[in-house]
């Protein structure tokens, strides 16, 4: 009888390609190791996202967003949506992108949905091990119960606790109760790993000196693995095409880059994962089609970490557009960490500058070096999982 492994991560998106693909990759690798694998359908309680006034004041003073930036955000007029027809429903994305069909084919999800720590305590007793990650499972949103669930604090002492390439999505933890929760839960882990170097520093700051840096699960599959597993269509013909994938609509920087590339004769395929409609978007690809767009494009323009990561995996030249804040800080750290390791920081920008974009387009990528590095990371990640699960 196969040993059973549970995964706690994000799983329910209808618009986030990276979320579903990283979960698919981790299941693929663990099944290949001979385990029975199930991703738990943990449903987030959004009421936990609401903060008390003292908590809001505390964040204003101590968060990594400066007070001046917060004041600027407060006084800057918010964009109003005058026409409700500009809003896209989740049902629209469900129908167009067909994520449910992909999950049905490639993800083994628990039949039951879970909302509380107590519900998970009983269910988890039949599992040999649990893994939290990847993705931003240790993000600052949500209350302490959500944190404890993503820190596997519902398990008995006999069940292995492993984090694989977990991400904080931040550079610091400012809430003292949260710090205590992380510190207490980290002590119970059998193996601890994070995705970004900033996360490694944060673990050590909390007192988890045993934390290791591991690659995103998507890297654990090679380009050929992805093509074969998902039966992707590869078109070698050069058609001078750009695939753009943005997480937010109406990003003027993205639009300016696309305008520039269009003036150079490129054909644009643009997908946007925002409920606010972007009139420029002209495709709603399924997950398989999203990957095919990346494989077959001449250039990828993306504000997405996983858009960047899959461009690297598929050896497609890319332009990564980070948030307007410093490139080495906050949520930009995800891009910065992997691109620094690959010596490709020159492909990361947070603005539109025609000369910079032209330099990125003309810069050659040493794909042999990238593939060799990914090969090393692939072995490192697999070895970590094998060792953590057997010890």
Predicted TM-score (pTM) of the model is: 0.90
Instruction: Return the pLDDT at 84.
Output: 56
Instruction: Return the pLDDT at 68.
Output: 52
Q: Which pLDDT tens digit goes with each residue over 166-223?
A: 999 888 998 899 999 999 999 999 999 999 988 999 999 999 999 999 999 999 999 9
Rounded CA-CA distance 92/186 in Å is 40
Instruction: Return the pLDDT at 55.
Output: 53
Q: Which pLDDT tens digit goes with each residue over 216-269?
A: 999 999 999 999 999 999 997 667 999 999 999 999 999 999 999 999 999 999
Q: Is the pLDDT of residue 67 over 70?
A: no
Long-range contacts of 103-107 (CB under 8 A, 24+ apart): 103/11, 103/20, 106/24, 106/27, 106/28, 106/229, 106/230, 107/11, 107/20, 107/23, 107/24, 107/27, 107/39
CB 144 within 8 A of CB 181: yes
Q: Which pLDDT tens digit goes with each residue over 307-363?
A: 999 999 999 999 999 998 888 787 788 899 899 999 999 999 999 999 999 999 999
Rounded CA-CA distance 259/42 in Å is 41
Q: Is the pLDDT of residue 301 over 90?
A: yes
CB 133 within 8 A of CB 161: no
- The number of residues in the chain equals 391
Cα dihedral 242, 248, 18, 215 sign: positive
Q: What 3 state SS string does the chain have?
A: CCCEEEEECCCCCCCCHHHHHHHHHHHHHHHHCCCEEEEEEECCCHHHHCCCHHHHHHHHHHCCCCHHHHHHHHHCCCCCCCCHHHECCHHHHHHHHCHHHHHHHHCCEEEEEECCHHHHHHHHHHCCEEEECCCCCCCCCCCHHHHHHHCCCCCCCCCEEEECCECCCCCCCCCHHHHHHHHHHHCCCCECEECCHHHHHHHHHHCCCCCEECCCHHHHCCHHHHHHHHCCCCCCCCCCEEEEEECCCCCHHHHHHHHHHHHCCCEEEEEECCCECCCCCCCCCCHHHHHHHHHHCCEEEECCHHHHHHHHHCCCCEEEECCCCCCCCHHHHHHHHHHHHCCCHHHEECCCCHHHHHHHHHCCCCHHHHHHHHHHHHHHHHHHHHHHHHC
Which domains are present in the chain?
4-49+87-220+378-390 (3.40.50.11930), 234-374 (3.40.50.2000)
Q: Which comes out higher in pLDDT, residue 326 or 34?
A: 34
Instruction: Return the pLDDT at 332.
Output: 84
Ranges 67-71, 330-334, 350-354, 376-380: which has the least confidence? 67-71
Instruction: Return the pLDDT at 47.
Output: 57
Evaluate the omega torsion of the peptide bond into residue 134 and state whether it is cis, within 30 degrees of 0. yes
Rounded CA-CA distance 151/307 in Å is 27
Instruction: Return the pLDDT at 171.
Output: 85
- Distance of alpha carbon 238 from its chain centroid, rounded? 29
At residue 81 the predicted structure's pLDDT band, cuts being 50, 70 and 90, is: very low
Rounded CA-CA distance 322/349 in Å is 6
Ranges 44-48, 90-94, 175-179, 315-319: which has the least confidence? 44-48
Instruction: Return the pLDDT at 73.
Output: 47
Q: Is the pLDDT of residue 48 over 60?
A: no
Rounded CA-CA distance 278/259 in Å is 15
Rounded CA-CA distance 352/333 in Å is 19
Q: Which comes out higher in pLDDT, residue 83 or 152?
A: 152
Beta-carbon contacts of 99 under 8 Å, excluding residues fewer than 6 positions away, are 13, 14, 15, 20, 93, 286, 287
Closest-CA residue to 244 (of 201, 211, 278): 278
Q: Is the pLDDT of residue 284 over 80?
A: yes
Around Cβ 81, how many Cβ atoms within 10 Å?
11
Q: Which pLDDT tens digit goes with each residue over 114-155?
A: 999 999 999 999 999 999 999 999 999 999 999 999 999 999
Instruction: Return the pLDDT at 62.
Output: 47
Instruction: Return the pLDDT at 64.
Output: 47
Instruction: Return the pLDDT at 59.
Output: 53
């Amino acid at each position: 009888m196969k040993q059973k492994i549970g995964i706690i991560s994000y799983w329910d998106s209808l618009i986030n390609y990276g979320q579903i693909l990283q979960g698919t990759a981790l299941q693929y690798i663990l099944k290949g190791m001979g385990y029975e694998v199930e991703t738990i359908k943990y449903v987030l309680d959004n009421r936990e996202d609401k903060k008390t006034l003292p908590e809001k004041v505390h964040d204003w003073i101590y968060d990594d967003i400066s007070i001046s930036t917060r004041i600027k955000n407060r006084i800057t007029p918010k964009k109003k949506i005058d026409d409700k027809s500009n809003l896209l429903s989740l049902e629209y994305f469900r129908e167009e992108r067909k994520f449910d069909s992909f999950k049905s084919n490639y993800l083994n999800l628990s039949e039951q949905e879970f909302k509380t720590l107590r519900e998970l305590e009983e269910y988890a007793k039949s599992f040999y091990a649990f893994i939290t990650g990847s993705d931003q499972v240790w993000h600052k949103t949500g209350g302490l119960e959500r944190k404890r669930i993503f820190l596997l604090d519902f398990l008995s002492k006999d069940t292995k606790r492993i984090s694989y390439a977990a991400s904080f999505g931040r550079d610091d933890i400012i809430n003292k109760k949260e710090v205590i929760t992380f510190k207490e839960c980290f002590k119970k882990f059998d193996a601890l790993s994070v995705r970004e170097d900033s996360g490694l520093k944060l673990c050590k700051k909390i007192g988890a000196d045993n934390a290791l840096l591991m690659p995103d699960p998507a890297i654990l599959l090679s380009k050929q693995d992805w093509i074969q597993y998902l039966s992707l269509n590869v078109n070698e013909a050069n058609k001078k095409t750009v695939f753009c994938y943005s997480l937010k609509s109406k990003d003027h920087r993205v639009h300016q880059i696309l305008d520039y590339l269009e003036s150079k004769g490129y054909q644009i395929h643009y997908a946007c994962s925002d409920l606010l409609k972007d009139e420029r978007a002209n495709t709603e690809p399924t997950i398989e089609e999203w990957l095919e767009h990346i494989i077959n494009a001449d250039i990828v323009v993306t504000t997405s970490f996983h858009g960047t990561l899959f461009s690297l995996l598929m050896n497609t030249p890319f332009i990564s557009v980070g948030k307007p804040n410093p490139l080495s800080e906050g949520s930009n750290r995800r891009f910065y960490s992997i691109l620094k390791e690959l010596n490709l920081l020159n492909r990361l920008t947070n603005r539109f500058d025609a000369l910079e974009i032209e330099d990125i387009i003309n810069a050659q990528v040493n794909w042999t070096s990238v593939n060799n590095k990914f090969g090393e990371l692939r072995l490192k990640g697999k070895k970590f999982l094998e060792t953590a699960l057997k010890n």
